[in-house]
Amino acid sequence: MKLRLLYHGHCFDGVASAALFTRFYKQRVRPDAEVHYTGLLHRPGALFDDEMFDGDENAIVDFKYSPSERLTWWFDHHQSAFLSAEDEKHFRNYAGDKKYLDTTRKSCTELIADVARTRFGFEDAALAPLVEWAHVIDGALYNSAAEAVELAQPALQLMQVIESVPDDSFVEKIIRLLCADTLDAVAINPEVQARLEPILAAHRRTLDMIRRESRYERGVIFFDLIDEGVEGFNKFIPYYLHPETTYSVALTRGAHRTKISVGSNPWSPRPREHNIATICERYGGGGHPVVGAVSFGTDEIEKARAAAREIVTELSAGVA
């Protein structure tokens, strides 16, 4: 029996959700299941095609909804969970017990854990640290920007590997390791640590680059790394470097998309007044009230830059 499990790729919560769902599924639903994984990324255009759902059962965790009749399980916690009003209507008309959305949750991992416990009688104490760290990481509930950027905790080192390693197959390997061992054991796994060393070196270079390129004005820190060849960055670096800011807006480009990343400073000296997901939705993106993103094509650099300037203007309006 084959389960196809699609998850938010290169994301700690996506990986943790996939690992927790796998352990639940194999213990409570189909112990004989052979699980196949597919990492998903937000990008312009269609996110799904029916060939993705090639399992006897198919699941999506921590990612947008698909109305495919082949989708069996779905868990998400994002405000921007639906690609269209028709998709949302399709979900709202669902009467079963295998598809869940709860936008009040800090992480999808904790949503799956709670549903598995309350609806299906599954609970595994060994998974508690994974659920807790997904809550902290995806909810941006760090004690300080320094904790998030200096990466002293093993779980945060694993997060950095998941977010930065370019090899999708290695991210899948991390999921399989988390299905068999504890979070701390996976974080100190020699293969994970070997991948971590060059990633930390790149992290330090990106930190210096953002220090050099970022500009702060009226409550917003902005930087454009498109010409620097940087695909991603630790999203707490702006608040580590500029604790006075309320928002951050950044431009990056990778092999598959040009991306605007928009965030808010959890330790801001002034309150957040904007819903970032709502702003990003206007440009075809989405996310949470406190953090979001918009994807453009790799050839749409000027379109992305224009949108980023508009977002900066909106976020800075009214700030002295």
pLDDT at position 256 is: 84
Lookup result for tokens 């640290």: 129
Fold of 215-316: Diaminopimelate Epimerase; Chain A, domain 1 (3.10.310)
Query: Residue 49: its pLDDT value, please?
Result: 82
Write the pLDDT tens digit of every residue in 284-294. 999 989 999 99
State the pTM of this model. 0.84
Domain 2-139 has CATH 3.40.50.150: no
148 contact partners, CB below 8 Å, separation of at least 6:
140, 142, 156, 234, 236, 240
**Residue 51: per-residue pLDDT:** 87
- Give the domain ranges of the chain: 2-139, 215-316
The residue written with tokens 């061992």 in the block is 181
Q: Which long-range contacts (CB under 8 A, 24 or more apart) does 51-56 make?
A: 52/4, 52/6, 53/4, 54/2, 54/4, 55/2, 55/3, 55/4, 56/1, 56/2, 56/3
Per-residue model confidence (pLDDT) at position 253: 93
Residues of the chain scoring pLDDT < 50: none
215-316 has the same fold as 2-139: no
> What confidence tens digit (pLDDT) does each residue in 137-196 have?
999 899 999 999 999 999 999 999 999 998 999 999 999 999 999 999 999 999 999 999
CB 293 within 8 A of CB 287: yes
- pLDDT of 320 reads 61
